[in-house]
Amino acid sequence: MAVNRQPVSHLNHKDVVALVKAAGNSVQFDILPAGKQQQQKQPQVGDPLDAAEASTRALVQAVHQQTQRAAEEQQKAAARLKELKATERRQRLFDEKCERLDEKIDASLLAWEQKEKDVEQLLQKALAVANYAEMKEYEKYMQKVELKAKDDLDRRQLKPRPAEAELGPELTASLRAKEYELELALLAEEISTVRCSELQKLERKATERKATENASQAEKEQKIMQAREQDLQQLKERQARMERILAEAEAEKAEEARRLREQKRLRGEEHQKKMEERAMLRARLAQEKRDEAQRREEEEARKRQTQEQEASWQRKEQQRLAELSARRKEEEAEERRRQGAAVLFGGGMLKRSAPPPTSASKDVHPMIAAMAAQREKEEADTRM
């Protein structure tokens, strides 16, 4: 193998690296034939073949990597140089276009200044012959013209326009700003031109009008007097109409106030009536509650009285039954004594007819029956 036509098989690694560095950016590698390599190789005692091959491969790899890095650096430098040249070309083109636009802007501004001087002169002439209404009409017309021109310019600016490929987006934006300045200057020049034209028309029209006015001054004065009298008559009619309208408005206002007072009075009476009805309802409910409470108290009193009467009757009944039981026991004892005496004295039993059983113990007490009937009647009344 040879580097820049110099065999490196007999060199060590450091010598080969130094040889490559000394070659600079241009390195040439050659593969020599085996016979020629043996002829050019100097004998080295004790130098094995494997070590030489490994050293050669390492050298080739190192040289190949350095070559790649050098090629990449050259490509980057070429790209930077190309970009720099393109930037210089775009800047030069941008400067040329800006210079042309500045020349047009200066020319337009110069023409605008001259037009403004002409406008000032024509305005003085027009003011000398035109009246207030004509000047007012002229100003309104020029305002409309300026507004329309500015709206058209704004609409044109709002339309999207692609960036110029030769300049790029940033320089294109700056160039658009310059173009906008030129359009503003041209717009001012056009408006000044329109002002000159309109002032000339206004001067001619006002001059003709003034000549006509001077020729028919008497007729004009008469027309003015007639118009004034008509205005006065219309003013009187308007005043009378306004007075009539004000009188009607006052009458309507008074009627509305009366109607509102009447509505307020009716609402007050209705409210008072509702309050009285509510008070009567509350009083009736309170009276009903009191009556109900009193009825319940009376019912409770009747119940207690009935209970007391029942308890009294039960006590009396128990006492009567006790007396009856005692009397029966006495009669039975007396009967047994008689029977015993009959057995002793006659051998026969004396029979005594027992009194027929009374149904007093089975029948209900009349007072209890009356109280039960009274209770059933009250319950019926309560259910109704």
Can you point out the beta strands (E) in the chain?
2-3, 6-7, 29-30
Judged by DSSP in three states, 365 sits in coil
pLDDT tens per residue, the chain (384 residues)?
676 666 766 666 767 777 776 666 666 666 665 544 444 444 444 445 566 666 677 777 777 777 778 778 888 888 888 777 777 777 777 778 888 888 888 888 888 888 888 888 888 888 888 888 888 888 888 888 888 888 887 887 776 666 555 666 677 777 778 788 888 888 888 888 888 888 888 888 888 888 887 777 777 778 888 888 888 998 899 889 989 998 998 999 899 999 999 999 999 899 999 999 999 999 989 998 888 888 888 888 888 888 888 888 888 888 888 888 888 888 888 888 888 777 766 544 444 444 444 444 445 566 667 777 777 777 777 665
Neighbours of 182 (CB within 10 A): 19
Other C-beta atoms lying within 10 Å of the C-beta of residue 172: 18
Per-residue pLDDT at 262: 92
Q: How many CB atoms lie within 10 A of CB 68?
A: 10
Angle at 255 between CA 249 and CA 261, to 5 degrees: 135
Q: What is the pLDDT of residue 164?
A: 59
Q: Which amino acid is at 171?
A: L
User: Angle 137-138-144 (CA atoms, 0-180°, nearest 5)?
Assistant: 90
Check residue 361 and report its DSSP letter: T
Note the pTM of the prediction, 2 decimals.
0.36
- Residue 359 gets which letter from DSSP? S
Radius of gyration for the chain, computed over Cα atoms and rounded to the nearest angstrom? 70
| Angle 173-179-184 from CA coordinates, rounded to 5° | 130
* Length of the chain, in residues: 384
- Rounded to the nearest angstrom, the gap between the alpha carbon of residue 178 and the centroid of all alpha carbons in its chain is 42
pLDDT reported for residue 38: 45
Burial class (CB in 10 A: 0-12, 13-18, 19+), 112: buried
Bridge partners, 29 (sequence order)? 3
Q: Write the DSSP string, 13-61.
A: HHHHHHHHHHHTT---EE---HHHHHHHSPP-TT--HHHHHHHHHHHHH
Task: Judge contact between 141 and 198, C-beta under 8 A.
Answer: yes
Q: Residue 135: which of 151, 118, 122, 148 has the closest Cα?
A: 122
